A and B are shown apart, each in its own frame.
Chain A
Amino acid sequence: MSNQLKPAVDGHDHSQGPRSAPLELVEYGDYQCSYCGEAYPEVKAARQALGDKLRFVFRNFPLTEAHPHAQQAALAAEAAARQGKFWEMHDALYEHQDQLDSAGLQQHAQQLELDMDQFQSDLKSSAVTEKVEADFESGVRSGVNGTPAFFVNGELYQGNWQDGELTRFLQSQLQ
């Protein structure tokens, strides 16, 4: 079975870092997953260490039955994206994993100074729901079997990501 990223990163994805970067790191994550919470600073550290050599992309993989707030949190990030604040919401969600209920999501949206009427209607819109579902399905098709899952230049990364291992692996790929 192939564990290649499908589809490849495109204009629908949220990314940080230059498109032309030699390394592309894609994470499939769930905002309520505690391991994803642990991976969040690891990814930040990798971005800092690699600078413009790394492009980072995040796709949603909410395990909705295991994590009751995961779906709403994913929708909130995508709704914030409609106002150009995906990464701000993404960071807020991972930095406050204990505030993912609807009051928590509202509060994050207010702190990011989102247009709240727009945010509410985007949360319920089919376009936002479809984005989250499409991300999930692409993860399944790419061989994601739990979260967080990382792909480096399109290949599923099977190694350890804790304790700086992700950064070291990415650095080793540059040589």
Chain B
Amino acid sequence: MLEANTPAPDFKLNSTPDQKLALSDLQGQKVILAFYPADWSPVCGDQMVLYNETSKLFSKHNAQVIGISVDSKWSHLAFSQDRNLHFPLLADFEPKGEVARQYGVYDEETGEAKRALFVIDEQGVIQWSYLSPAGINPGANGILDALEEMDKKTA
């Protein structure tokens, strides 16, 4: 798993059926990259629903949250509509799990991404990362603590 002070590998993945989003598109703001195993599984639902609510707290730190799993763009579309999500879900679908592998968080046994968080700074460098047990929703407090630390350093 990639650690702090590592440049975040760039990627370009579908965020909707007809749009792609690259990490480099988001330079100049902080990015919270939330890898999760799958759409629709009960715990992940909670985690993405929580980030939907906390994105207003993230935006106070000029940070954008992005969910990423190996699900297809069509599954993401349906999941996003069902949960009324207001942030992008990226489809790490083809080649499957390629981005999760680059970040060192692909689970070979389940064929899904592990539940891992990365906070990336305005220059595209990872400043904080955290691996959560697959069944446990890591919440948002670790992310907010990391964002606060980063703001302190630049202040």
Contacts and interface: CB of A to CB of B under 8 A. Distances in A.
Given A1-B130, A140-B57, A63 B141 contact: no
Interface string A145-175: 1100000000000000000000000000000
A104 interface: no
A32 to B, nearest CB: 13
A142 B46 CA distance: 16
Contact of B52 (A65, A140, A144): A65
A146 B141 contact: no
Interface string A65-83: 1100000000000000000
A146 B44 CA distance: 11
Given A144-B139, A145-B137, A63 B53 contact: yes
Interface in B130-155: 130, 137-142, 144-145
Contact of A145 (B50, B83, B130, B144): B50
Given A145-B137, A145-B138, A65 B144 contact: no
Nearest to B148: A141
Nearest to B145: A1
B139 A1 contact: yes
B86 A145 contact: no
Contacts of B145: 1
A143 B139 contact: yes
A146 B83 contact: no
B49 interface: yes
Residue in B50, B144, B145 with the greatest tally of chain A CB atoms within 10 Å: B50
A34 interface: no
Contacts of B130: 1
Contact of B83 (A66, A142, A144): A66
A56 interface: no
A23 to B, nearest CB: 24
B140 A66 contact: no
B49 A137 contact: no
B84 interface: yes
Contact of B49 (A2, A65, A136): A65
Contacts of A65: 49, 52-53, 83-86
Given A65-B52, A146-B50, A140 B140 contact: yes
B141 A66 contact: no
A141 B144 contact: yes
Interface string A111-153: 0000000000000000000000000110011111110000000
Give the most central of A3, A140, A142: most B CB within 10 Å.
Answer: A140
Nearest to B46: A146
Contact of B141 (A64, A136, A140): A140
Interface in B52-66: 52-54, 57
Contacts of A145: 46-47, 50, 137-140
Nearest to B47: A145
Interface centre among A140, A141, A143, A145, by most chain B C-beta atoms within 10 angstroms, is: A145
B54 A140 contact: yes
Contacts of B85: 65
Which 3 A-B pairs have CB atoms at the shortest separation, nearest pair first? A145-B139, A145-B137, A1-B142
